[in-house]
Amino acid sequence: MAVLKLYEYPHPVLKKKAQKVEKVDDAMRKFLDDMLETMYADAGVGLAAPQVGVLQRVVVIDVAHEDEEPHPYYMVNPEIIWKSEEKVCGEEGCLSVPDQRAEVERFTSVKVKYLDYEGKEQELLAEGFLAIAVQHELDHLDGILYIDRISRLKRQMLLKKLEKMRKEKAHQ
Ligand code: NI
């Protein structure tokens, strides 16, 4: 396994639409392993392929707490096939927008269809934080970041903080 290079805002690859995967073969499984390792290395709860510069419809998610056993989901060609009417506001962050967080509105629960690590079709009813993670990661596959879903004013403030933080880090 290997930790892959992470692309951060405003890299253009993050704005592109990812393509469907033809089949889940050994090369794809190796990529899934690398994605998971990359996500764990940065203590993330989700990672989408465009964040490592690969425009394929692939995400990994693990929302297990630190004191719980890891519970990774590998999702190839994921698709939301049902959304709850109810929505919820929760704080989100993203490895591609480091050290920033903002409140985003999402569906409370979603049903997602995808191919798993073995290439088998799966359906998952995601609720709570997992539902938020699924929506956040699937957005990445369509070139959407969570900061695209907050008000312009909040986005400007957040991006200013991001820039300030980067400058500070550059001077360290
Ligand atoms: Ni993200």
Q: How far is the CA of 26 from the centre of ligand 1 (A)?
A: 25
Cα–Cα nearest to 76, from 128, 120, 45: 120
Distance CA 148, CA 136 (A): 11
Query: Which residues are 103's β-sheet partners?
Result: 91
Q: How far is the CA of 106 from the centre of ligand 1 (A)?
A: 14
Q: Could you list which residues have their CB under 5 Å from ion ligand 1?
A: 94
pLDDT in 10s for each residue of the chain, 172 residues = 899 999 999 999 999 999 999 999 999 999 999 999 999 999 999 999 999 999 999 999 999 988 999 999 999 999 999 999 999 999 999 999 999 999 999 999 999 999 999 999 999 999 999 999 999 999 999 999 999 999 999 999 999 999 999 999 998 8
**Side chain identity, residue 90:** G
Q: How far is the CA of 152 from the centre of ligand 1 (A)?
A: 18
Is the C-alpha dihedral spanning 33, 96, 9, 152 positive or negative?
Answer: positive
Q: How far is the CA of 1 from the centre of ligand 1 (A)?
A: 21
- Buried/exposed 6-29: b ≥16 CB within 10 Å, e otherwise: bbebeeebbeeebeebeebeeebe
Domains for the chain: give ranges and CATH numbers: 12-170 (3.90.45.10)
DSSP string, 108-138: SEEEEEEE-TTS-EEEEEEEHHHHHHHHHHH
Distance CA 16, CA 105 (A): 22
Interacting residues of 108 by C-beta distance below 8 A, sequence separation 6+:
84, 86, 87, 88, 127, 131
End-to-end CA distance of the chain: 31
Write down the catalytic residue from 68, 103, 137, 168: 137
Q: How far is the CA of 82 from the centre of ligand 1 (A)?
A: 21
Q: How far is the CA of 141 from the centre of ligand 1 (A)?
A: 10
The verdict on whether 137 is a catalytic residue reads: yes
| pTM score of the predicted model | 0.97
> Mapping DSSP to helix (H, G, I), strand (E, B) and coil, where does residue 4 land?
coil
